[in-house]
Amino acid sequence: MSLSDYLFTSESVSEGHPDKVCDRISDSIVDAFLAADEDSRVAVETLATTNRVVLAGEVRGPESVTKEVMVEKARQAIRDIGYEQDGFHWKTAEIECHVHEQSVDIAQGVDSAGEKDLGAGDQGIMFGYACNETDELMPAPIQFSHRILRAMAADRHSGKVPQFGPDAKSQVTLRYAAGKPVAATSVVVSTQHADGLSQRDVHELVMPYIEAALPQGWMPPADEIYINPTGRFVIGGPDGDAGLTGRKIIVDTYGGAAPHGGGAFSGKDPTKVDRSAAYAARYLAKNVVAAGLAEKCTIQLAYAIGVSKPLALYVNNHDTGNVDELKLGDVLRQLMDLSPRGIREHLSLCRPIYTPSSAYGHFGRQPTEDGGFSWERTDLVSDLKSAFGA
């Protein structure tokens, strides 16, 4: 018997969090290569610490994207986030680039040749998930956590609340009754702030964002709202703690409400199924829920390096569905080619669209006119309903 009454918590981190700074830099470099050549291969990792950034990884793409260009992209990313502090400044940070050519052994497994289709960039398992807890068909705890920080960041960038610094974290705990979220029991927000502000000052600045993010009547008791509980958060970002690409994979996905295959997204071009197949799995799961075939849906895909077809497709509607899951899996295979090439073409992934996804979640976002977040479309709904006579 599944637990129906419980508390569940998810966290988010802002674009200025040290790990997210690295994700932003890595995705900026992916976009630079794809803007120059849609067939570029990119796997770039970033390390950030006090006034220092290190780039490493493997690429295959146009010579126009030089090491100097990559360094400049890193500086632009740091500037756009808003770091102009003594310990981490876009102008003065020392940036090293150790990116080199992609291994020919990897390339021969991934490239198409003759009768061989484009293979997966690596082995692995990828999960997608959707549920009807929010309008975005995302788990409510992670979606509310993102809402708080995105709104705070927007007002920091606009100059409305210049007292906020770039680095911040949020955490929302919800109470579930009969399997549905009904109220928040606690909220935590820690934000970097200008020197001289008291804890009370920060509390007054942050409270409106919590109130706006939660549904009416869901606010927790006052003593369960924790804002900068250490009392001071002036030193932040990579100056306060080192950052690495790919360390916030649960923040990037479903806040722990669904399984995770373990692979990070940022810094990888869409031939890497860690990224593209996770997007495809979310796309399929979201369309299943949007079509009313289930209240919750988890999809798993599995791949082998150099092999174009997925090794497996698993569908689980968590006893909330009204269709046969085996048939649903067959229908999904018919509606979407789940080879790496098929995913890229169906979702138009070979475009410079990834920088915006590097913070506040890769899922639960709105598709954009330039093709960003195409995996959030619900354009399979009519076909799914037709397949099941819904």
275 is in an annotated binding site: no
Examine the residue annotation and report whether 268 is marked as an active-site residue of this protein. Answer: yes
Q: Which of these is catalytic: 36, 56, 183, 242?
A: 242
| pLDDT tens digits for range 358-382 | 999 999 999 999 999 999 999 999 9
Is the pLDDT assigned to residue 106 strictly greater than 60?
no
Question: Catalytic residue among 60, 73, 268, 344, which?
Answer: 268
Higher pLDDT, 288 or 112: 288
Nearest to residue 176, comparing CAs of 218, 213, 136, 210? 218
Question: In this structure, are 285 and 212 located in the same domain?
Answer: no
Residues 365 and 383 in one domain: yes
**Domain, as residue range, for 195:** 6-12+140-235
Residue 80 appears among annotated catalytic residues: no
Residues 148 and 210 in one domain: yes
- Among the listed residues 41, 156, 169, 282, the single catalytic one is 169
Residues 278 and 223 in one domain: no
Q: Is the pLDDT score of 1 beyond 50?
A: no
Q: 31 and 355 in contact (C-beta within 8 Å)? A: yes
> Where a domain ends, among 183, 216, 235?
235
What would the pLDDT profile of 52-66 be if each residue is shown by its tens digit?
A: 999 999 999 999 999
Report the C-alpha gap between 220 and 258 in whole angstroms: 25
- Confidence bin at 103 (pLDDT 50/70/90): low
> What is the model's pLDDT at position 207?
98
R_g (Cα) of the chain, nearest Å: 21
pLDDT (tens digit per residue) in 165-216? 999 999 999 999 999 999 999 999 999 999 999 999 999 999 999 999 999 9
**Tally of domains in the chain:** 2
Query: According to the annotation, is 272 in a ligand binding site?
Result: yes
Both 146 and 207 in one domain: the answer is yes
Residue 260 in domain: no
247 annotated to a ligand binding site: yes
Domain annotation covers residue 39: no
pTM score of the predicted model: 0.94
> For the chain, what is the mean pLDDT?
94
Q: Looking at the structure, tell me whether residues 223 and 301 fall in a common domain.
A: no
The CATH number of the domain holding residue 326 is 3.30.300.10
Q: Which residues, 6+ apart, have CB-to-CB distance to 72 below 8 Å?
A: none
Direct distance between the N- and C-terminal alpha carbons of the chain, in angstroms, rounded to an integer:
29
- Judge contact between 376 and 303, C-beta under 8 A: no
Query: How many Cβ atoms are within 10 Å of 64's Cβ, its own excluded?
Result: 11
pLDDT-derived band at 105 (thresholds 50, 70, 90) equals low
Query: Are 308 and 214 part of one and the same domain?
Result: no
pLDDT at 112 over 70: no
Instruction: Confirm whether 382 is domain-assigned.
Output: yes
**Tens digit of each residue's pLDDT (9 = 90 or more) over 133-145:** 999 999 999 999 9
Q: Does residue 301 lie within any of the structural domains?
A: yes
Do 144 and 200 lie in one domain? The reply is yes
Asked about 242 being catalytic, the answer comes back as: yes
**Is 91 an annotated catalytic residue?**
no
Same domain flag for 295 and 376 = yes
241 in active site: yes
For this structure, is 248 an active site residue? yes
Q: Is 351 assigned a ligand-binding role in the annotation?
A: no
For residue 229, pLDDT over 80 is answered with yes
Q: Could you say which of 17, 41, 73, 365 is catalytic?
A: 17
**Phi/psi of residue 101, nearest 5 degrees:** -70, 145
Distance CA 246, CA 264 (A): 5
Tell whether residue 183 is among the known ligand binding residues: no
Q: How confident is residue 386, by pLDDT bands cut at 50, 70 and 90?
A: very high
What is the rounded distance in angstroms from the CA atom of residue 373 to the CA atom of residue 153? Answer: 20
| Torsion over CA: 266, 270, 273, 279 (sign) | positive
Is 290 contained in some domain? yes
233 annotated as belonging to a binding site for a ligand: yes
Q: Give the separation between CA 303 and CA 340, rounded to whole angstroms.
A: 9
> Is the residue at 55 inside a domain?
no
At 160, which amino acid appears?
Answer: K
* Residue 344 located in a structural domain: yes
Is residue 245 a part of any domain in this protein? no
Give the strand pairing for 180-193 and 225-227.
parallel
Residues 227 and 297 grouped into a single domain: no
Per DSSP, the three-state class of 269 is coil
On whether both 277 and 230 belong to a single domain, the answer is no
Does 381 lie in the same domain as 296? yes
Residue that finishes a domain, picked among 235, 257, 289: 235
Out of 24, 156, 248, 365, which one is annotated catalytic? 248
Do the annotations mark residue 385 as ligand-binding?
A: no
Query: 215: how many CB neighbours lie within 10 A of its CB?
Result: 13
Last residue of a domain, one of 181, 212, 235: 235
Residue 248 is assigned to a ligand binding site: yes
For residue 73, indicate whether it is catalytic: no
